[in-house]
């Protein structure tokens, strides 16, 4: 800590030497702030859920939530339960497949909408009529339409990502400066070169934004779909149901701390997949980074 003042003048990213914080652990200011915020939330949660003990009466809402230590104990117990990890795996696989399908279908569809006026005027009204229907409203219909439970869940997840990606692709393609296309044409670029070298990289950042939003939506949808549909084809409910069914099952079985474990697990899963998407997009669009 003796060199703390030096560290501060050399860029302000290391610890400013406040007592109790280790400097040089690689925590920057914002990471520290995040840690403090999470800690505060935990304390608030703890105080709230144990309010009956120290206040005499339960606080509304938060007073009936299982306490953090109970949740941690339940979690530790679950870590050695293969069923819990199976739930992770099922939900992750469903999100990955549904998201991949939404991206692979949404990108060409969006590009076609942006590129072809006739296609657009034909298809876009239908698209816009279907878009406001929430994915979850499709659950009963898709259970009827699709032969297996798994396919109906996949379809609903697909819908969750598809609209967002399509709209972002269309918006991104429309935002490309026409002068870039004109410049390329006068330098002798073919339609293919213009598509490959201008349109595609031009929409990539918006596709990235769309993907980031879409993966969040797919997590929302997968969990709800699993709850409603009873967990898909996995046979035994606790292993094949995914995190959504895990939560539902915990509720039905009265294991309230497990509900919270499931919720936090989804939070972590959503955060990790958004972060990975962001990373991937940043890697694919290096020109967006200022050096």
Partner 1 sequence: MTVATEWNANFLPPSRGEVVVRNVSKSYGPQLFATEVVRDCSFVAPPEKFTVIVGPSGVGKSTLVRLIAGFEMPTQGEILIDGRPVTRPGRDVLVVFQETALFPWMTTEQNILFGPMARGDPPGASKKLADFLLDKVGLRTFRKHYPSQLSGGMQRRVELARALINNPRVMLLDEPFRGLDAMTKRLMLDYYARLSEEQPRSNLFVTTDTDEAIFLADRLLVMSHIPTCVRAEIEVDLPRPRNFSTLFHDNRANAIKMQVLSMLHEEAMKSFIGGQKAASDFLEAYRHRTAAG
Residue 283 within binding range of partner 1, rule CB under 8 A: no
Residue 283: CB minimum distance to partner 1, A: 13
| CA–CA separation, 110 and 172 (whole Å) | 9
**Contact pick of 19, 61, 129, 187 for partner 1 (by CB under 8 A):** 187
The whole-angstrom distance between residue 174's C-alpha and the CA centroid of its chain comes to: 26
**DSSP alpha helix (H) spans, the chain:** 4-9, 29-49, 51-55, 68-79, 82-115, 117-130, 139-145, 149-174, 178-186, 191-193, 200-229, 237-240, 242-253, 256-284
Nearer to partner 1, 209 or 255 (CB): 209
**Contact pick of 16, 23, 58, 285 for partner 1 (by CB under 8 A):** 285
Total number of residues binding partner 1 (CB under 8 A)? 24
Token digits of residue 183: 């410049």
| CA–CA separation, 168 and 8 (whole Å) | 42
Residue 171: CB minimum distance to partner 1, A: 17
Q: Which residues between 139 and 178 bind partner 1 (CB under 8 A)?
A: 177
Cβ-count burial 131-144 (b if 16+ within 10 Å, e if not): eeeebbebbeebbe
Residue 201 within binding range of partner 1, rule CB under 8 A: yes
Residue 191 within binding range of partner 1, rule CB under 8 A: no
**Contact pick of 190, 252, 268, 280 for partner 1 (by CB under 8 A):** 190
**Contact pick of 55, 193, 264, 272 for partner 1 (by CB under 8 A):** 193
**Contact pick of 182, 267, 268, 282 for partner 1 (by CB under 8 A):** 182
The closest alpha carbon to 137, from 215, 213, 221, belongs to 221
Residue 185: CB minimum distance to partner 1, A: 5
The closest alpha carbon to 226, from 154, 148, 145, belongs to 154
Residues that bind partner 1 (CB under 8 A): 177, 179-180, 182-190, 193, 197-198, 201-202, 204, 285-288, 290-291
């Amino acid at each position: 800590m003796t060199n703390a003042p030096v560290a501060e003048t050399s860029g302000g990213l290391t610890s400013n030497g406040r007592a109790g914080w280790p400097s040089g652990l690689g925590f920057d200011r914002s990471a520290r702030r995040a840690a403090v915020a999470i800690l505060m939330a935990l304390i608030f949660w703890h105080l709230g859920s144990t309010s009956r003990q120290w206040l005499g009466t339960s606080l509304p809402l938060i007073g009936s939530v299982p306490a953090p230590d109970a949740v941690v104990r339940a979690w530790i117990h679950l870590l050695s339960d293969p069923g819990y990890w199976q739930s992770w795996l099922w939900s992750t696989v469903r999100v990955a497949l549904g998201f991949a399908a939404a991206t692979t279908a949404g990108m060409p569809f969006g590009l076609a909408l942006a590129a072809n006026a006739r296609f657009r005027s034909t298809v876009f009204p239908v698209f816009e009529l279907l878009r406001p229907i929430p994915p979850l409203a499709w659950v009963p219909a898709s259970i009827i339409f699709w032969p297996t439970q798994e396919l109906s869940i996949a379809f609903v997840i697909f819908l969750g990502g598809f609209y967002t990606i399509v709209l972002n692709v269309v918006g991104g393609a429309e935002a490309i400066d026409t002068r870039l296309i004109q410049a390329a044409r006068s330098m002798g670029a073919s339609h293919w070169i213009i598509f490959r070298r201008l349109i595609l990289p031009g929409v990539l950042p918006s596709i990235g934004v769309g993907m980031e939003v879409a993966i969040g939506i797919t997590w929302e949808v997968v969990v709800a779909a699993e709850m409603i549909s009873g967990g898909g084809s996995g046979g035994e409910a606790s292993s094949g149901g995914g995190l959504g069914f895990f939560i539902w099952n915990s509720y039905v079985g009265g294991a309230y701390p497990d509900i919270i474990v499931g919720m936090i697990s989804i939070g972590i899963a959503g955060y990790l997949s958004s972060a990975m998407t962001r990373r991937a997009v940043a890697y694919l669009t290096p020109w967006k980074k200022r050096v």
